Every structure is written in C-alpha cells, then in structure tokens.
Homo-oligomer: A and B are copies of this chain.
Amino acid sequence: MAIHDYFLMLFIVLLSARLFTELAVRLKTPPVIGELLAGVILGPSLLDWVEPVEGIKLLAEIGIIMLLFEVGLETDIKRLVETGLKSIIVASMGLSLPFVFAFSLAYWVFGLPLLVALFIGGTLTATSIGITLRVLTDLKRHDSTEGQIVLGAAVLDDILGVVLLALLYEFSIGGGINLLNAGKVLVSILIFFVLAPLAAKLISFIIKRLHTSSEVPGLIPSTIVSLMLFFAWLAHEVGAPELLGGFTAGLALSRRFYLPFGAFLAGESNFAHEIESQMKPIIRLFTPIFFVTVGLSLNLREIDWNSPFVWVFSSSMFLVAVAGKILSPLCIKGKWLQRFAIGLAMVPRGEIGLVFAELGRQSQIFTNEIYAGMVIVIALTTLLPPFVLKWFYAKFPMSL
C-alpha cells in the first residue's frame, strides 16, 4: 500500500476513534465502546473503508503493548504479590470453568466432534487483558484491590491462554498433546517474569544516567519505547504473549518497584514523573488504534443472522462464557460485591479468543456457522461488560 493511502487510513482511524469516544462519553457509555464501535463501523461489518493492513496492525500492537506498559507503570508490585494467591485462584478458575462449560456444551449438548469442542473451549478461556484493564482504568478502578486481583489474574490468564493455544494447535495438526513442551514453555515464561523486570530496572538506571547528561532532547521517548519493544520481542521469544513484555517494562519503571536487595534510590520519583508525562501523549496516540483494530477484526457480515443454529449456539455459549468467569472468584475470600466485580471484569474475551476462532476457521475445524457463533460470543463479552461494570460501580460506589 502506498504511504499516502496509509495516511488517509490512519487519519480515519484516529479521528473516528476520537469522535466515537466523545460521543460515547456524552451518551454515558464507556469510552472504549466508542473505539470498538468505530472499528466495527469502519471495518468489513459495515463500511469496509479500513483494512487491518500490516502498518495499521503494527501500530495497533504497539498500542496494546503501550497500554500494558502504562498499567505496569502504575502497578504496585508489592500489592500485586500480596493479592497474588487470589489472582492465581481467579485465573485458574476463570480458565478452567469456561473451558469445561463450553467444551461440555459443545461436545455433549450440540454433539460436536472432540477437536471442535476443544477449540470452542479454548476460544472462551482467555480474558482480554486489554479491554478489561482499559475499562477499569476508564472507571479509575485499576488501583483498587479488585483491580489488582483482576490485573494479576488477567496476566496469568493470558499466559495460560497462549500455552493452551499452543497445545491445542499441536493436537490439531496431529502431533498429539506434548505436555513436556508445554511445561518447558511455562517454565521459560516464569523465568522471564522473574528476570525481565530486574533486567529492565538495570536498563532504566542507564537511561536515567543518560537522561541527566544528554544534550539532545528526546531521550525518554526513544529509549523507553525501545525498552518496551525489546521486552515485547523477548516475551514472544520465550513463548509468552508480546503485550506482557510491555507490562514487564512498565513494572520495572514503576515508582514503587524496589529492587529485591532493598536498595531504594532517592530521586527516582522525579524521573518516574518525567517518564509518565512524556510517555502519556504517546500512549494516548497508540492505544485507540488497537481498540479500533479489534472492532475491525469482528466481521459481523459473515454471520448468517437467519440461521436458528447460530442464535441457539451463540446465546447458550454466551451464557456459559459469562457464567464461567463470574463464578471464577467464588473460591477466594471477600465481599460478595467485590467478588462479583472481579468476575464481571474477567468476562471480556478479545485478542486470544479471536486468534483461536481464526485458527479454527483456517484449519477448517470450525464450520462457518460455528465460527460466526464464536464471533458473536466474543463480540458480546467484549461489548457488554463495560456497560455492566460502569453501572455496577455507579450503583455500589461505597461498598467496594
């Protein structure tokens, strides 16, 4: 595609994302809905003006990495560790319940073949970390206790979702399920998660030193974005989702990140503030492109709205998809309302679900009808929870 065509496309994406966001806010709707809707309208579902071509996809992926970077930057690692056990429980429940529910429904009720049912289960496992965190950030709830639990759970969920995807993919191409490989991947991801923030922290000291001595403006944007991209690439290399690289980089630069040997460096907080103020405009530029792209990749036109199977299949799948996540915080201690909020926040499926569905279609495991049904379920789980969460927090503001 010629560069000036890209300019027009990006112009349309950025401007409509902003217009629909402003509209959404005026209609008392979560801002992220505006961006998703802009994508649905511009994409194949309706106008078909914008295609998620290579350059747009690149900017979108940088956008989601930056969003996770920002979340990492504002994360208190001590609190994340404190809520860690709860996150692990929520993540494992939130992964297994929807998988078991959706698999059972597909295999026993709809009588679909084993592999199809496994892929359907896989599609509904992983929470969309991007949408969940964006909604919580919009509601200024990402810093609350339930926000921390959801953050930890969504990160784990994403990792396990990718491992599950790798397992099912191997299974589907006839290699059988190789648990040893999956275990290796899990171990290398764990090592990455322990070592990467330390490495990023050391790099950030170098950046800080350069920052005080550099005479050419622009050190922070270029080095911080490099750091993010490097960790995203590294995450991919060890088998983890790329966006978690951004999260790790953010975590390491966070104001509250202490090195384990207890060295706290005074004056850090000025530098952290400088990073935040310079990075915010960049993050705000890139993230909407990601959410518009999610909207672009939902092709609602592919759905045969007259097929009764699609309706029955998608509505029953939607119910188990929601129930599986809502029930996921059942085993942790806490107020009922807080646990309900956690469950709700875990409902959105997005990136990984769409990747699963797309893979299912491409490898002809999913028929067009099943694919369409799964796209409806992903769309509903993505579009509804922001409304419900907004309403929920408005209704019960004090009790949380």
**Which residues of A come within 8 Å of B, CB atoms?**
1, 3-4, 6-8, 10-11, 14-15, 17-18, 21-22, 25, 31, 54-55, 57-58, 61, 138, 210, 214-223, 225-226, 229-230, 232-233, 236-237, 242, 278-282, 284-285, 287-288
Give the distance to chain B from A128, nearest Cβ to Cβ, in Å. Answer: 17
- CB-defined contacts of A210 to chain B, threshold 8 Å: 22
Other-chain contact of A216, B22, B233, B281 (Cβ < 8 Å): B22
| Interchain residue pairs with CB less than 8 A apart (22) | A1-B54, A3-B242, A4-B236, A4-B237, A4-B242, A6-B58, A7-B230, A7-B232, A8-B229, A8-B230, A14-B226, A15-B226, A18-B218, A55-B55, A55-B58, A217-B280, A218-B281, A218-B284, A218-B285, A218-B288, A221-B285, A222-B285
Whether A281 and B279, one on each chain, are in contact in the complex, defined by CB atoms closer than 8 angstroms, is: yes
**Taking the full assembly, how many copies of this chain does it contain?**
2
Whether A233 and B285, one on each chain, are in contact in the complex, defined by CB atoms closer than 8 angstroms, is: no
Supposing A3-B61, A3-B242, A233-B4 touch, asked if A285 and B225 sit within 8 A by C-beta, the answer is yes
- CB-defined contacts of A287 to chain B, threshold 8 Å: 218
Supposing A3-B242, A58-B6, A233-B8 touch, asked if A215 and B284 sit within 8 A by C-beta, the answer is no
What is the CA–CA distance of A236 and B225 in the complex, to the nearest angstrom? 30
Whether B226 and A18, one on each chain, are in contact in the complex, defined by CB atoms closer than 8 angstroms, is: yes
Whether B242 and A14, one on each chain, are in contact in the complex, defined by CB atoms closer than 8 angstroms, is: no
Q: By CB atoms of chain B within 10 A, which of A6, A61, A214 has the most?
A: A6
- CB-defined contacts of A288 to chain B, threshold 8 Å: 218, 222
Whether A222 and B11, one on each chain, are in contact in the complex, defined by CB atoms closer than 8 angstroms, is: no
Give the distance to chain B from A130, nearest Cβ to Cβ, in Å. Answer: 15
Give the distance to chain B from A224, nearest Cβ to Cβ, in Å. Answer: 9
Known A4-B242, A278-B281, A281-B282; further 17 A-B contacts with Cβ < 8 A: A3-B61, A4-B237, A7-B233, A7-B242, A8-B233, A11-B230, A14-B222, A14-B225, A15-B223, A17-B222, A25-B214, A217-B284, A221-B284, A221-B285, A222-B284, A222-B285, A279-B281
- CB-defined contacts of A10 to chain B, threshold 8 Å: 226, 229
- CB-defined contacts of A57 to chain B, threshold 8 Å: 3
What is the CA–CA distance of A233 and B1 in the complex, to the nearest angstrom? 14
Whether A11 and B226, one on each chain, are in contact in the complex, defined by CB atoms closer than 8 angstroms, is: yes
Give the distance to chain B from A152, nearest Cβ to Cβ, in Å. Answer: 24
Give the distance to chain B from A88, nearest Cβ to Cβ, in Å. Answer: 27
